[in-house]
Amino acid sequence: MYGPVMSDDLILKISNLSKSFGPIRALKGVDFELRRGEIHALAGENGAGKSTLMHVIDGILQPDSGEILFDGVPVKIASPAMAQKLGVGFVHQEIALCPGVSVAENIFMATTNSSRALLMNYRELERKAAEVLGELVDIDPTTLVRDLPISHQQLVEIAKALTLDCRVLILDEPTAALTETEAQILFRIMRRLADRGISIIYISHRMVEIFDNCDRVSVFRDGQYITTRNVAEITPDDVVNAMVGRVIDELYPRKQSEAERSDEVLLDVRNLSERSRFKDVSFQLKKGEILGLAGLIGAGRSEIVKGICQLEGEVSGEIALDGKTLSLKTYQDSIAEGIVYLSEDRKGDGIFLDMPIAGNVSALKPEQVANGFGLIIPQKEKEQAEELGARLNLKYGSLSDPVSSLSGGNQQKVAIAKMLSINPKLIFLDEPTRGVDVGAKAEIHRILRNLAASGVGILVISSELPELIGVCDRVLVVREGRISGEVTGDRMTEENIMHLASVGDVQVALQ
Amino acid sequence: MEDAVSLTGAPENKSPEISFIRRLLRMRETGLIAIILVLFLVMSFASPYFLTWVNMRAMVMAFAVEGIVVVGMTILLISGGIDLSVGSVTALAMVIAGWLFLNGVDPWVASAISIAACTAIGAFMGFFVTVVGLHHFIVSLAIMVIARGACLLGTGGRPLGLYTLPSEFKFIGQGSIGPIPVVILIFLVVVVGFDFMLRRTTLFRKVFYTGSNEKAAAYSGIRTKRVIFFTTTLCSALCGVAGIIYMARFGSAQPTFGIGMELNVIAAAVIGGASLKGGSGTIFGAILGAVLLSVVSSSLALLDVSVYWQDIIRGSILLTAVSIDHYLVKKRR
């Protein structure tokens, strides 16, 4: 651990902070200290509590208990506006600028909002914007934001935060949209700001970035604060270990035994590429196994499976199902071959919330519950939903109720029932248990195992490593649009997967 | 709306009859029928003319042809679209058929050509919406103005008198089979036919999927653009049919006919449960909405309320109905 520091070295001191969302305890009594002028990395898996903590600091969320000292003074940060007043700047992962408005106006959006002036003084605005931008990058303040490349938009966001005289700057995955060169420019700017006494909280999954550019790193896991270390004193391995140090529970169904393993290839993907999203992806899915696809958000996991079933992108490469090479042009072709995709955004594009359960289940091929004239036979539709519902242990009142009346886990079962309605050969499931409670989660895992055993190809994408390790027989790791490695059996550990996902060095991982 | 929640629980502790009645009570159609019945009751006391055969017939005639347009609009709204050009396109249908007839074309052939032309206009709008990617609102606004302009251009702004229309043709708009006017029969056939298709066919089921959640529909393998193209075209085609019936009924083609019709038609569909966000609505409900508006107009006329007041009241009914609905939906969530 680091040595004791004088309390006036600290711009921000958080102690014993807790925050729950209903039954879920997102933060369990965490501590966090931020020194003046340091670049402090936050590390942790998805769901570890990093964003919740940052949202508390930015006043978006209110803690249930705990203390926040800002510059030595106890504060209650009731709103983002108040956080701004204290000097907290937050650059979110998603860019939140007005695209049709000039850079200068975007930078001073908050100031304009609080200004009493009746008319805009554009000349003054542009002069001041040029001043702020001058420190960062050469952008003409009169340019419209939509005409800027993403990396410059990111810098405009940072400039926007800087105009608020911030003393604490939170950067959430700022390099996700940047190229290597642009990222390097950002790191130089970060260092310059830190030298001016601004404290920076830097959130990233990329170990290299943390170790090259940050002073200290704090690790969070499962809503708990684990440790804070000087970067110079530790290795990336230490951080990864601290992030995942968790025992996998027994909630998962039995895996494939050695004897059950088959060499029969169900899906064979060769040299699949899509312009910017992924490159040279090759893998096989064997009969009876559950294959996992791991990787950081934005690594291209979903893009690969969506590419295979022609939901998005212009894909080149070869796809063979059951030894037969497919030439899929549209998702309709893919469905006709029995390849379906379960979306990660259930409410956004997975189900029809306001429509009846039965109508949701039949959506993939309504013709199945219709007669020769294209007339839907309600009885047939009901039977289909009843049968699949029973198979998935779906809890419902009436099949004519809207899906919105069901719990998250049951909604997901409806989405899975929809996939199963066409007797698919291969199902891609993108985050199949997101927003689903523990009980339903275990049920969904069991369903997947049974499907795999019955010969349906199952490929699971998940950001939850314990889930992938618990459910899958084999896990492929995607990093920056390429498959960076594969783990099975004993080598299927969170450490190895995280390494392949963030560092990408196969040798290190497999030692 | 507690029962929406309790329905997720065990189903066995509720008798089917009770749950059927509850469902019935929850349906908007039930509420509309109740309001209409109350209006009937009140009006039958307020005016001796209200409950007469003549008045009933006039009331039904007033919305029957427009009801055909309501059908098209409801289906379009369910798919997530909207069409402001219905009034102009209906007028254009009259003008095209009337002009062809005056130039020696057989009225039946002229009508077929006219309906085809309206269908083409719908397809044209569908093209701009699905291929070019513009919003229904703006495309149909443009077509509304263009079609009206074409009407005035083709007629010089004056109604075309079609005095020589053969009586077999005028029969569509003016005749009766037994005691029931042909117009009402056509209306019933269209309404019952489309209501059935909308409830039962896979084709129209895809309209619901698309309007309910376009992305989820695409992720279910539905070609959503084709669906929207289809509903846009269908709505204009039904305007064509309505225009022809009007022509047969009036014996003339009126270039200024149907101004403001879009308001009535959209209001009827929305009062009847269609959502501007798409994904919900029924033909039966929309027709009840049209009936309600028509009963209100007729009542106000019988009570000697000024015509100018009628618009204000109609607008207020729309606002009230939609607000109540919005509130109920929000409460249910």
Q: What is the mean pLDDT of each run of 10 residues along chain B (333 residues)?
A: 34 54 70 88 87 86 92 96 97 96 95 98 97 96 97 93 92 90 94 93 93 91 94 97 95 93 92 88 92 89 86 87 74 54
Q: What is the pLDDT of residue A97?
A: 85
What residue spans of B14-106 are helical by DSSP H?
16-26, 28-46, 53-78, 86-102
> Contact, B198 vs B282, CB < 8 A?
yes
Contacts of B208 in chain A (CB under 8 A): 352, 355, 359
Question: ipTM of this model?
Answer: 0.77
Tell me the sheet residues that pair with A474: A291, A488
Inform me whether the C-beta atom of residue A405 falls under 8 Å from chain B C-beta atoms: yes
Q: A475 by DSSP, 3-state: which?
A: strand
Q: A37 by DSSP, 3-state: which?
A: coil
CB contact under 8 A, B202 and A405: no
Q: What is the pLDDT of residue B16?
A: 58
> Contact, B8 vs A397, CB < 8 A?
yes
CB pairs under 8 A between A and B: 92
What lies within 8 Å, CB to CB, of A114 at 6+ separation is none
Q: What is the pLDDT of residue A510?
A: 44
Dihedral pair phi/psi, residue A421, rounded to 5°: -60, -25
Q: What is the pLDDT of residue A46?
A: 65
Band of pLDDT at residue A247, cut at 50, 70 and 90: very low
Distance between CA atoms of residues A97 and A153, nearest Å? 8
Which one of B5, B219, B280 has the shortest CB-CB distance to A405?
B5
Contacts of A332 in chain B (CB under 8 A): 221, 223
CB contact under 8 A, B218 and A370: no
Q: What is the pLDDT of residue A182?
A: 75
CB contact under 8 A, B217 and A352: yes
Which one of A364, A395, A398 has the shortest CB-CB distance to B221?
A364
| pTM, rounded to two decimals | 0.75
> Contact, A90 vs A58, CB < 8 A?
yes
Q: A274 by DSSP, 3-state: which?
A: strand
CA dist list (Å): A26 to A55, A221, A432, A442: 12, 10, 21, 21
Hey, what amino acid is at A262? S
Distance between CA atoms of residues B163 and B155, nearest Å? 16
Residue of A309, A354, A364 for testing the chain B interface, max B β-carbons within 10 Å = A354
Inform me whether the C-beta atom of residue B331 falls under 8 Å from chain A C-beta atoms: no
Contacts of A410 in chain B (CB under 8 A): 8
Contacts of B215 in chain A (CB under 8 A): 348-349
Distance between CA atoms of residues A470 and A155, nearest Å? 40
Among the residue ranges A164-178, A480-494, B22-36, B54-68, the one predicted with the least confidence is B22-36
Q: Are strands A426-430 and A339-342 parallel, antiparallel or unpaired?
A: parallel
Residue bearing tokens 């709306």: B1
CB contact under 8 A, B213 and A367: no
Instruction: Flag whether pLDDT at A1 surpasses 70.
Output: no
Which one of B5, B202, B218 has the shortest CB-CB distance to A366?
B202
Q: What is the pLDDT of residue A84?
A: 85
Tens digit of each residue's pLDDT (9 = 90 or more) over A319-373? 999 999 999 999 999 999 999 999 888 878 889 988 999 999 999 999 999 998 8
Element (H, E) at A269: strand A265-274
CB contact under 8 A, A375 and B19: no
Residue B175: is it exposed, middle or buried by C-beta count within 10 angstroms (0-12/13-18/19+)? Answer: middle
Task: Compute the average pLDDT of residues A400-425.
Answer: 90
Which one of B201, B218, B280 has the shortest CB-CB distance to A375?
B201
CA distance A426 to chain B (A): 15
Neighbours of B174 (CB within 10 A): 16
Contacts of A406 in chain B (CB under 8 A): 8
Q: Which residue has the higher pLDDT, B219 or A241?
A: B219
Q: What is the pLDDT of residue B55?
A: 86
Q: What's the residue count for chain B?
A: 333
Dihedral pair phi/psi, residue A247, rounded to 5°: -90, 135
CA dist list (Å): B299 to B58, B193, B289: 12, 30, 15
Q: What is the pLDDT of residue B230?
A: 97
Distance between CA atoms of residues B191 and B68, nearest Å? 7
Domains of chain A by start residue, with CATH = 7-244 (3.40.50.300), 266-338+424-510 (3.40.50.300), 351-422 (no CATH)
Q: What is the pLDDT of residue A511?
A: 40
Residue A191: is it exposed, middle or buried by C-beta count within 10 angstroms (0-12/13-18/19+)? Answer: middle
Please state the separation of Cα A142 from the chain's center in Å.
Answer: 34
Distance between CA atoms of residues B213 and B228, nearest Å? 13
Tell me the sheet residues that pair with A319: A269, A326
Q: What's the residue count for chain A?
A: 511
Inform me whether the C-beta atom of residue B215 falls under 8 Å from chain A C-beta atoms: yes
User: DSSP string of A278-337?
Assistant: EEEEEEEEETT-EEEEEE-TTSSHHHHHHHHTTSSS-EEEEEEETTEEE---SHHHHHHT
Q: What is the pLDDT of residue A409?
A: 83
CA dist list (Å): B4 to A24, A177, B10: 25, 43, 13
Enter the tokens of residue A91. Answer: 């650059």
3-state secondary structure labels for all residues of A187-201: HHHHHHHHHCCCEEE
Q: A121 by DSSP, 3-state: which?
A: coil
Distance between CA atoms of residues B258 and B129, nearest Å? 24
Q: A98 by DSSP, 3-state: which?
A: coil
Q: Which residue has the higher pLDDT, A314 or B147?
A: B147
> Contact, A210 vs A231, CB < 8 A?
yes
Band of pLDDT at residue A146, cut at 50, 70 and 90: confident
Q: What is the pLDDT of residue B301?
A: 86
> Contact, B216 vs A350, CB < 8 A?
yes
Element (H, E) at A351: none
Q: What is the pLDDT of residue B156?
A: 92
Q: What is the pLDDT of residue B51?
A: 84
Residue of B219, B227, B330 for testing the chain A interface, max A β-carbons within 10 Å = B219
Please state the separation of Cα A284 from the chain's center in Å.
Answer: 25
Dihedral pair phi/psi, residue A365, rounded to 5°: -150, 80
Task: Compute the average pLDDT of residues A115-137.
Answer: 80
Distance between CA atoms of residues A183 and A424, nearest Å? 43
Enter the tokens of residue B71. Answer: 């059908």
Contacts of B193 in chain A (CB under 8 A): none
Nearest to A396 by CA among A417, A380, A376, A379: A417
Contacts of A358 in chain B (CB under 8 A): none
CB contact under 8 A, B215 and A349: yes
Residue A253: is it exposed, middle or buried by C-beta count within 10 angstroms (0-12/13-18/19+)? Answer: middle
Residue of A328, A334, A349 for testing the chain B interface, max B β-carbons within 10 Å = A349
> Contact, A271 vs A243, CB < 8 A?
no
Distance between CA atoms of residues A456 and A266, nearest Å? 9
Contacts of A366 in chain B (CB under 8 A): 202, 205-206
Element (H, E) at A242: helix A236-244
Residue bearing tokens 């055909």: B68
Nearest to A270 by CA among A322, A319, A315: A319
Which one of A335, A355, A407 has the shortest CB-CB distance to B8?
A407
Q: What is the pLDDT of residue B2?
A: 34
Which one of A335, A354, A396 has the shortest CB-CB distance to B212?
A354
Band of pLDDT at residue A8, cut at 50, 70 and 90: low
CB contact under 8 A, A348 and B216: yes
What lies within 8 Å, CB to CB, of B17 at 6+ separation is none
Residue A17: is it exposed, middle or buried by C-beta count within 10 angstroms (0-12/13-18/19+)? Answer: buried
Distance between CA atoms of residues B44 and A227, nearest Å? 81
CA distance B219 to chain A (A): 7
Distance between CA atoms of residues A340 and B194, nearest Å? 32
Inform me whether the C-beta atom of residue B27 falls under 8 Å from chain A C-beta atoms: no
CB contact under 8 A, B8 and A395: yes
Tens digit of each residue's pLDDT (9 = 90 or more) over A430-479? 989 877 766 678 889 999 999 999 999 999 998 888 889 989 999 999 98
Dihedral pair phi/psi, residue A467, rounded to 5°: -65, -45
Nearest to B93 by CA among B233, B262, B242, B252: B242
Nearest to A264 by CA among A226, A202, A320: A320
